[in-house]
Structure 1
Amino acid sequence: MGRVRTVLVRPWVVGLLVVAVAGAGFGLYWFQPWKLWQDETVQEALPEAVSASKSPVPAPSGESSAPAPSGPVTLASGELVSHEHATSGKVRLVRLADGSHVVRLEDLDTSNGPDLRVWLTDAPVKEGRAGWGVFDDGEYVSLGKLKGNKGSQNYVVPEDVDPARYSSVSIWCDRFDVSFGAAELARA
């Protein structure tokens, strides 16, 4: 009869396999590479008003109280330029009839990614690699998670934020502190 041979697995081999599997799992979670092939398209209409309970914007003291426009008014706009990923589309800062403000992304086309946000910032837009990381250097307001990497969508500017203090919009990857694309807002 043949001898049965016992194979002993060395503890360092098991430890190495555990570290490799844990590292691969963490890398997949952190980078989420599958998102580069997944598109999320969002098509939203421009809202008439953000909140029906808001009162009209009062005229500053000393000015006559002219009637507010009956529809949305574009205060500033710009074209998206590519940074970390190829990005295109238009950005508009819009005042709605009730006095509230939204940032509107139109015809957006960018890569999907982990933890993408829409930021209203005071940073100048720089082309190419020079513009990748400038938007968190100054003042910025996060308007929320990017709803989709393609399409047209709206982001409400909080009531306590003065949009006149900000000059650009960035599609910002919060996980890697890098801009996917941005637009300089030119006043209308």
Structure 2
Amino acid sequence: MKQKTVGLLAILLLLIACQKDNVPQLMGIEPPPVSPTIQKPENLLAKGTFQSAVHTTSGEIKVYRDENGKRALIFENFRTDSGPDLRIYMAEDKALTNFIEVSNKVNTMGNYSVALPDEADLSKHTYVLIWCKRFAVLFGSAELKPN
């Protein structure tokens, strides 16, 4: 019985640890937009919808390629809870198999874009994850489907 209680307390602490932190969010400030020409329908490579995991996460994610071959993740109507050490990862699944880090900065709400690293392979890295690195907690994820 004592082990069960300790296990439940450990899970509860992990969940609480990735709750909203006290760092003020920069509301209304977005990174510079990706070139407007990138968001043409013919440049859309893949898209998905965020699903909540441990924290409520919602919105759309799209992958576009510009005329120079550079790719970007476009977050639309995105929203997730804030937390310490949030990251954007791409992986083969929700369990971080063969993951790469896309960004160590996550806007918790709004429309914004993030450059996609060259090593991101859309045939393998089909999940976009919002991950709390400090506590190894998945906030939410989106599975990318080819356009």
Could you tell me the TM-score, scaled by structure 2's length?
0.74
- C-alpha displacement at 1:170, in angstroms? 0.6
- Percent identical among aligned pairs is 25
Please name the residue that 2:7 is paired with: none
CA contact (8 A) 2:38 2:64 kept: no
Q: Does 1:149 align with 2:108?
A: yes
Matches within 5 A, 1:16-165: 31=17, 35=21, 38-41=24-27, 42-44=29-31, 46-48=33-35, 71-72=38-39, 73-123=43-93, 134-136=94-96, 138-165=97-124
- C-alpha displacement at 1:106, in angstroms? 1.2
Unpaired runs of at least 5, structure 2: 1-12
Change (3 A) 1:34 1:181: closer
Q: If you compute each CA radius of gyration, which structure gives the higher value, 1 or 2? A: 1
CA contact (8 A) 1:39 1:150 kept: no
CA contact (8 A) 1:146 1:171 kept: no
- Within the candidate set 149, 167, 175, 2:126 is matched to 167
1: CA distance, partners of 2:20 / 2:79: 17
Could you tell me the TM-score, scaled by structure 1's length?
0.60
Change (3 A) 1:121 1:33: closer
Count, aligned residues:
129
Please name the residue that 1:5 is paired with: none
- C-alpha displacement at 1:162, in angstroms? 2.7
- C-alpha displacement at 1:135, in angstroms? 2.8
- C-alpha displacement at 1:38, in angstroms? 4.6
Structure 1: which 4+ aligned runs deviate by more than 3 Å? Answer: 31-34, 36-46
- C-alpha displacement at 1:89, in angstroms? 0.5
CA contact (8 A) 1:101 1:156 kept: yes
CA RMSD of aligned residues (A): 2.7
Deviations 1:76-128 (A, max 9, x none): 101101011111100111111210111121111110000000111111xxxxx
